[in-house]
Chain A
């Protein structure tokens, strides 16, 4: 997949504006380097080529990138918001990749702001909402997934009992255990009586 040129240029412009405000984010490890961001699943590769003071965003790079970071969009988003980087894969020059990761975490992209310059405020707001929703969704997804899986196993495939059934079952087991214990006591008492009567 390739991003439309206008979007590509928009991301680039946003990065460069933020880099102009915080020039120290481009460290020597990045100057002159090209980092490939590879979004698996959507099959999208973006190349960030760094100069001393700005970044050039390309959808194709004639040479080999110095470092490649691959992962699903969700894994990247989660790494970008400061969570774990376990689901990402790093290849090539690790120092450059790390510097790039630091840069991504150092700048907070305001999606709405840069989209609004190309789409108008109203549309940008909707897209921003969507992105925010997606982020929230990312967070809620785990929980929702757990719930969905439980529903599926319990009511769809009936592999697992629902909570009420389990509780009923557990109560039944408890009662049975109590009955068995009572019964055992009775047997014991009968034993004693037989013993003492000398039968």
Chain B
């Protein structure tokens, strides 16, 4: 494993280090390859738990009818669909992803569920969001920040798009806090997960990337500090499943 700090223009791609410009292309490849079977894999990998984690995340949003919300790295739109029911017809939902295949999958799925009218779809990179300053009441990013090349830039960009009183919710894999869980979890994600990826999604490499990128992602305290550095206040994280997953929330005041 190469230390990313030795080569400043190199960034992590799972346990590999790749040139800065290449990461988003490689991430795109991963999601292009899994887009179709993404939902099924999610359910199998997390034993359905990801649904609870998402529900919990939305419950922390303090959504009100009429809110304008952004679901970033939306993928198949799980968080978006849940938020939509809380903001009502006067609200506005913006769904954004960097990957056209994922975005179009998400759009099809939301339309199939009857979610339309006050919904907009935007192909966007979290690092430089194409929205005005102080625009959203809530921004969510579910299992997306890990894939972003320059996370600090992305957090700053999200901060700017939030109204005062607005909040960011980051749902992401994190560091297990329950003793003993770490080793079991390692075994699961490095041995079982890639094999499941091969069998179900026909793609072992992408799921290996998933496991590796989880390990390289900042732990709870580090991410909290990064959010504070980006300007967020009253930051709080909530561990779920013993810290395998955590939800971070921060406010712009």
Report which A residues bind B (CB closer than 8 A).
4-6, 8-9, 12-13, 16, 49, 51-54, 56-62
Contact = CB atoms under 8 A, between A and B. Distances in A.
A58 B234 contact: yes
A62 B233 contact: yes
B238 A56 contact: no
Interface in B203-253: 228, 233-234, 236-240, 246-247, 251
B62 interface: yes
18 contacts: A5-B237, A5-B238, A5-B246, A5-B247, A6-B240, A8-B238, A9-B59, A9-B238, A13-B59, A16-B62, A49-B234, A52-B165, A53-B64, A56-B251, A57-B236, A60-B236, A61-B234, A62-B228
B41 interface: no
B96 to A, nearest CB: 26
Contacts of B246: 5
A56 B236 CA distance: 10
Contacts of B247: 5
Given A49-B234, A56-B234, A4 B239 contact: yes
Interface in B58-97: 59-60, 62, 64
A133 B181 CA distance: 35
Contacts of B131: none
Contacts of B239: 4-5
B8 to A, nearest CB: 31
B236 A59 contact: yes
Nearest to B167: A56
Main SS at interface, chain A = mixed
A16 B59 CA distance: 11
B251 to A, nearest CB: 7
Given A49-B234, A56-B236, 19 more contacts: A4-B239, A5-B238, A6-B56, A6-B238, A6-B240, A9-B56, A9-B59, A9-B60, A12-B60, A51-B165, A53-B64, A56-B234, A56-B251, A57-B236, A58-B236, A60-B236, A62-B228, A62-B233, A62-B234
A53 B165 CA distance: 10
A65 to B, nearest CB: 12
A62 B239 CA distance: 20
Nearest to A16: B62
Contacts of A59: 236
A9 B240 CA distance: 12
Contacts of A52: 165
A6 B228 CA distance: 22
Nearest to B251: A56
A12 B64 CA distance: 15
Contacts of A53: 64
Nearest to B64: A53
Which 9 pairs from chain A and chain B are nearest by CB? A5-B238, A58-B236, A5-B239, A54-B62, A56-B234, A49-B234, A9-B238, A51-B165, A13-B59
Contacts of A62: 228, 233-234
A44 B129 CA distance: 40
A1 to B, nearest CB: 15
Nearest to B59: A13
Interface in B150-198: 165
Contacts of A4: 239
